[in-house]
Each structure stands twice: as C-alpha cells, then as structure tokens.
Amino acid sequence: MQAEVKQPMRSNGLFNLPNLLTYGRILAVPGVVACFYFEGDAPRWVALGIFAAAAISDFFDGYLARIWKLQSRIGRMLDPIADKLLVVTCLIMLASAQTIGLWSLPAAIVILCREILVSGLREFLAELQVSVPVTTLAKWKTTTQLVSLGFLLAGPAGDKVLWFNTQLGIFLLWVSALLTLYTGWDYFRNGIGHLIED
C-alpha cells in the first residue's frame, strides 16, 4: 500500500442518490440509539434491521458514485464520517447494555482508538494532497467488524434463535480488533514519511 496524490474531486450536487444513502446512514445513528431505550427482544431486532440497512447502503453509495460518476466532495467527506458514527455509536450502546462486557471491552477500545488515529492521519495527509488507498485487508476488517456488530446488536434476542449468537459476535469483534491493529499500523507506516518530512 503506497500513498498517492489525490485527484481533484468534482461536485455533482448535494442530493444525488449516493449522497442520499450517506445521509440515510447518518440518520440511522439516532435510530439505533433509540432502540436501546426500550426493553424486550423487538427493539434489538429493530436495531439490527436499521444497522443492516445502513451497512448495505455503505456498499451501494460508493459503488453507485463510481459507476454513475457522481463522486462529490461532500460525499467523500461524509462517507467515512457516517461509517465511523455508526460503528462508534453501536460500540458505545452495546457496552452500555453490557452486551460487550468487561473482558471484551478492550477489543472495542482498540477499534475506537484506531478510528480516531486513522481519521487524524487521513486529515493531515489530505492537507498535503496525499491519499492512502484502502487495502483488501482493511476491507475484510470492515466486513468482519460490521458482521460482529450485527450479531451483537441482536444480542439476547438473537441468542434465543442461535444460542451462541452473542459469543460469535464477541469472537468476531476480537478478530476485527486484531485486523484493526494490523491495518492501523499499515496506514501509519505508509504515512509516517509524510509526517516527519521538513
């Protein structure tokens, strides 16, 4: 993975379909939060449904923006923000509900710290007109992370359907955390040259 100079990003309107999908993902965040204020299985399934729709939209907004040539500055800015808001919010709510317990909390903290550090690095490199491409391993990290959160959002409700649902979610969370450490180091290693240049 090597840093490369970014190409100029054109603007194709605030309300094209890819951007609308991104806005929807941001609006999904308070929807997921609201579900945790209600007791019972139904709110957990609703939270999972909202999360799944948002995660699927994450694939389609980028895909449609590329094939329809609707990439925009606001889309480029908001897409990673929407992703991080959704993931961070889910981790916080799951920890609050104790679905993510004390012994699995370090995995969540690793993911949160990586998101903050890589966001800061990307913002710094953006000022230098340098982008760091997303690797295949980073895409696997994201997929594992989203799948783990899906199992954990179902939580106790999911355990009634699949008895090891939460345990599987915790296992995948740790796998995601390990991939997060590696890919985070990979980003830092490729950006360090730009950080120490005079």
Fold of 10-192: Four Helix Bundle (Hemerythrin (Met), subunit A) (1.20.120)
Predicted confidence (pLDDT) at residue 196 exceeds the cutoff of 80 = no
Highest mean pLDDT among 51-65, 104-118, 125-139, 146-160: 146-160
Q: Please report the pLDDT score of residue 163 as a whole number.
A: 95
Phi, psi of 130 (to 5 degrees): -120, 135
Is residue 12 scored above 60 in pLDDT? Answer: no
pLDDT band at 33, cuts 50/70/90? Answer: very high
Q: In the chain, what are the domain boundaries?
A: 10-192
Residue 6 has pLDDT above 70, yes or no: no
pLDDT of 66 higher than 50: yes
